Amino acid sequence: MDNLSISRALPLANVHIQDEFWSEYIRLIREVVVPYQWEALNDRVEGAAPSHAIQNFKIAAGLAQGEFYGMVFQDSDVAKWLEAVSYLLETGKDPDLERLADEVIEIIAKAQQKDGYLNTYFSLKEPEMKWMNLAECHELYCAGHMIEAAVAYYRATGKKKLLDVACRLADCIDEVFGAEAGKLHGYDGHQEIELALVKLYHATGTNSYLSLSQYFLNERGTSPSFYDIEFERRNRKTHFSGLNMVRDRSYSQAHLPVRLQETAEGHAVRVVYMCSGMADVAAETGDEELLEACRRLWSNIVNKRMYITGAIGSMAHGEAFSLDYDLPNDTAYAETCASIGLIFFAQRMLQIETRSEYADVMEQALYNTVISGMSRDGRQFFYVNPLEVWPQACDKNKNLSHVKPQRQGWFGCACCPPNIARLLASLGRYMYSTKDQTLYAHLYIGSQVDIELGGHQIGLLQQSQLPWKGNVHFELTVEGAVEFTLALRIPKWCKAAEIRLNGITFQTDDVLVDGYVYINRVWQSGDTVELNLPMPVNRMKGHPLLRETIGKVALQRGPIVYCMEEADNGPNLHQIVIARQTQEQVQYHAEVLGGLQVLSVEAYREQTDGWDNLLYKVEDNIRTESVTATFIPYFSWANRGRGEMAVWVRES
């Protein structure tokens, strides 16, 4: 099988984001989140649960005394921080930060064992259990994150120290795992190594890394179960007693070989990390069966198991998918990391086949769940992103005990904040891609791009008013006249896109393919393309099989899903019914949460007058009062104290 001809993301260094909306987020990552995370990793954040992650590496490196502390996957936090740092360094020099990273890399390199093994939990705490409990213990998951960090740092700085560590680690893994007799015929309980090995293959050209990734994917879910075999081998020792990781195969998508999986089952982050690896391997090998499995799982997720905010995972138990059309708003898990993983998966599918549905979901997850995951000051984070919150119930009803009505400082299991950091720090990787003579624009974020296409230097200046206005303006810089195709995505939320080429309306009918308008011409410097995306407030309905949204609508404008908050509407949001035949008012409020477009809608609210002490009574005229319901972007909720929130609202 040959590799597929795919469109490739532009190197991060070639995309300079200058955007009114996103530059602030990236500044937050650089100036607040990454430094804050550095403090957290070093246990210097007051009042937050200790991380001990750097200390674990120091102890393993022989540079400090003490014992391992933290989750079995604590190492991955350091790796994700390093990966975020790498992206920051790739987009802007920062010698202090680079020195900090170099110091950490020194420690990591010292913590690596002679045979390439690298995992502080097992080195320090259970050396005799190395490679004995893949089902539960995240050994390859941690390795995967370290490999991702290494590739990113190498690309950012050209420095090979961590890349060498990663290669020795991957080689060590290759010695241990594989189809050959004497090797372990296994795979990790948490997918991650699969996509990481493909990155390492790209960075080094070493085929064995691609083969090893392929091996892990092919081995998963085969019979007899590797989890059973290793369970017996370690005398039935378990690490996480509550979660049944060994027996509940679908938790880690080990219930069936990956090619036979029809639906997204189990832990949501694992599913999308696995799918990302599957898409990577399919792209490199042309494995149509694997690609078809990717398409099938994609379709199941986005058409039957995804919240309108681009969130996935319907239940806290197992942080997992449940079943088709089961998307409870209040007990949702909707983990920030899962939406980030969904973006990883979407980008890979988009590179394989340029269909706007992939970019649409990427945008949906990014503008809603991902940035909802972080407070406006970059200091607090959501792990769980429900679509409806009643804070008092979160305190008392144990079905909601995973739902926090306010963002938290740092977590005992701190996967989400560094994941947000590495995604936003590398946002430039998701905006454009190229294939042959085509430059694709997937996301509309103000930026200056400089690339080589077919031997020509091309500069593209994008100015975007998203998400508040749908005006996007491109200006080209080329040397002389260059023929190539500029492909612009038409977002799903826009039904009346207009394009003007050098000020003249451009007819898109014949050149709109799978949601992209292909403009092929001989371009000259100063050529402009205006993309005008009208942005009415859309009242979105859920599929009639969705029990939680029936009889309700969600307001969406452009990519932004809106919600009501107690801060604007008072408590008991469930009493509000918006009027169907009324126009929403759209107003920019510069003073609200750093500037937001706010929606106002005529509505009524059921009253409690006349109920006295009754809990149920015979229906009579429902007493209502007219109110104006105020909606703010979902991502901005929970920045004004503790209160109710609801995305879906009844409509009269």
- Binding site residues, a second copy, CB under 8 A: 299, 302-304, 306, 308, 314-318, 322-323, 326, 328, 331, 390, 392-393, 395-399, 495, 538-547, 550-551, 553-554, 572, 574-575, 577, 606-608, 611, 613-619, 622, 650
Beta strand 585-589 with 596-606: parallel, antiparallel or unpaired?
antiparallel
Q: Taking a C-beta distance cutoff of 8 angstroms, is the pair 492, 357 a contact? A: yes
Minimum CB–partner distance for residue 535 and a second copy (Å): 13
- The answer to whether residue 415 is catalytic is yes
CA distance linking residue 257 with residue 254, whole number of Å:
7
514 DSSP 8-state letter: T
Cα angle, residue 477 at apex, residues 471 and 478 outer, rounded to 5°: 140
DSSP 8-state secondary structure symbol assigned to residue 159: -
CA distance 150 to 162: 5
**Cα Rg, the chain, nearest whole Å:** 25
Comparing CB distances to a second copy, the nearer of 264 and 439 is: 264
Nearest-approach distance from CB 586 to a second copy, in angstroms: 16
- Which position among 294, 337, 415, 494 bears the catalytic label? 415
Rounded distance between C-alpha atoms, residue 309 and residue 363, angstroms: 10
- Return the structure tokens found at 382: 């959501």
* Least distance CB 488 / a second copy (angstroms): 22
CB 371, min distance to a second copy, A: 19
For residues 623 and 648, the answer to whether their CB atoms sit within 8 Å is no
Taking the complex as a whole, the smallest distance from the CB of residue 392 to a second copy amounts, in Å, to 6
Q: Cβ distance 474 to 529 under 8 Å?
A: yes
Return the residue matching tokens 């994700």. 80
Q: Please check whether residue 519 is in contact with residue 473, taking contact to mean a CB–CB distance below 8 angstroms.
A: no
Please say which residue, 234 or 650, places its beta carbon nearer to a second copy.
650
Nearer to a second copy, 214 or 331 (CB): 331
Helix axes 268-285, 193-204, angle to 10 degrees: 30
Going by C-alpha positions, the residue among 207, 105, 90, 215 that lies closest to residue 155 is 90
- The residue (of 41 and 361) whose beta carbon lies closer to a second copy is 361
Query: For a second copy, which is the closer residue by CB, 120 or 329?
Result: 329
Minimum separation from the CB atom of position 368 to a second copy (A): 12
Question: What are the structure tokens assigned to 530, written together?
Answer: 């205006």
Task: Specify whether 530 is catalytic.
Answer: no
Q: What are phi and psi of 549, to 5 degrees?
A: -115, -5
| Residues contacting 282, CB < 8 A, separation 6+ | 4, 288, 290, 291, 294, 352
Nearer to a second copy, 588 or 611 (CB): 611
379 or 541: CB nearest a second copy: 541
Does residue 467 have a cis peptide bond before it, meaning omega lies within 30 degrees of 0?
yes
Cβ distance to a second copy smaller for residue 102 or 651: 651
Q: Distance between CA atoms of 568 and 638, rounded to whole angstroms? A: 12
Q: Take residue 109 and report the two structure tokens written for it.
A: 């390199």
Structural tokens at position 303: 């058409």
How many whole angstroms separate alpha carbon 347 and alpha carbon 14? 18
Kindly state the smallest distance separating residue 606's Cβ from a second copy, in Å.
4
Phi, psi dihedrals of residue 165, rounded to the nearest 5°? -55, -45
621-644 per-residue burial string, b: 16 or more CB within 10 A, e: under 16: eeeeeebebbbbbbbbbbbeeebb
Cβ-in-10-Å burial (0-12, 13-18, 19+) of 103 comes to exposed
* Cβ neighbour number for residue 646 with a 10 Å cutoff: 25
* CA separation for the pair 226, 285 (Å, rounded): 25
Dig out the tokens for 513 from the structure: 């393919």
Contact 510, 502 (CB under 8 A): no
Element holding 247 (H helix, E strand): none
Answer for the pair 199, 148: CB distance below 8 angstroms, yes or no: yes
- 254 vs 494, which CB is nearer to a second copy? 494
Closest approach of a second copy to the CB of residue 234, in Å: 23
- Tell me the Ramachandran region of residue 327: left when phi exceeds 0, alpha when psi lies from -120 to 50, beta otherwise: beta
**DSSP state, residue 184:** B
Q: Nearer Cβ to a second copy, position 86 or 368?
A: 368
First-to-last C-alpha distance (Å) of the chain: 57
**CB-based contact 343:9 (threshold 8 Å):** no
3-state secondary structure of 453: strand
Least distance in angstroms from the C-beta of 611 to a second copy: 5
Considering the complex, what minimum distance in angstroms separates the CB of residue 69 from a second copy? 24
Decide whether 40 or 400 has the Cβ nearer to a second copy: 400
Shortest spacing between CB 554 and a second copy, in angstroms: 8
**Annotated catalytic residue within 319, 357, 565, 584:** 319
Q: Which is nearer to a second copy, 277 or 515 (CB)?
A: 515
| Catalytic (active-site) positions | 319, 415
